[in-house]
Amino acid sequence: MSDTIDLEKKYKPLIVSVSIAVPLVVALLFRVRIEGWDTAGLPPVYATINALTAVLLIAAVASIKAGKRSLHERLIKLCILLSAAFLVMYVLRHMTSDPTTYGGTGINRYFYYFVLVTHIALSVIIIPLVLFTYVKAWSGKFDQHKKWARITFPVWLYVAVTGVVVYLMIFPYYQ
């Protein structure tokens, strides 16, 4: 038991550091402008990554409910990898392109900005949630992992799905 406690204690400072550093670095990189790269093809790629992440998260939950722990673990690791790939592509797109402004009006505009703001806010919150949930499983604390996962899963799924929604709504306004 002390090994599992030590594992959690060992990684807590790293998780907290990463959870703070990633949003700060992303915000700073949004101020960097790299000219000469054509990243126009990235938005549909990272929207597809978000969609795939959502599907795989659902598959991961189904697999653990079916008692397939090894499959669940592989799917979650893949979701983490896909989320990281999304983030890299998203930041690269914003470093190489002018921002795209949503052109919708009326209730669509309010809906878009509500989804966008909640998506961004929860994408920051999901970083420590995923990492702490993962470490709980890695530590063998499956009861605690399950409690954390009940919060982490819907938030992560929301972030993945709303990433696709935001893309579909802003797609007509890409240049």
In tens, the pLDDT along 111-127 reads: 999 999 999 999 999 99
Is residue 4 pLDDT above 80, yes or no?
no
Look at residue 69 in the predicted model and tell me its pLDDT.
Answer: 97
Backbone angles phi, psi at 153, to 5 degrees: -55, -55
Is residue 85 pLDDT above 80, yes or no?
yes
Domains, the chain, with CATH or none: 2-27+40-173 (1.20.120.80)
Is residue 36 pLDDT above 60, yes or no?
yes
Classify 105 as helix, strand or coil: coil
In tens, the pLDDT along 16-26 reads: 999 999 999 99
Is residue 1 pLDDT above 60, yes or no?
no
The one-character DSSP state at 78 is H
The two tokens of residue 17 are 């550091």
* CA–CA gap between residue 16 and residue 128 (Å, rounded): 7
* CA–CA gap between residue 168 and residue 49 (Å, rounded): 13
Residues 42-50 have a mean pLDDT of 96
* CA–CA gap between residue 164 and residue 57 (Å, rounded): 15
Q: H-helix or E-strand containing 134?
A: helix 106-138
Residue found by looking up tokens 């995923």 in the block: 130
pLDDT category of residue 5 using cuts at 50, 70 and 90: low
The one-character DSSP state at 61 is H
Residue found by looking up tokens 């992303």 in the block: 26
* Contacts (Cβ under 8 Å, ≥6 apart) of 166: 112, 115, 116, 119
* CA–CA gap between residue 131 and residue 73 (Å, rounded): 13
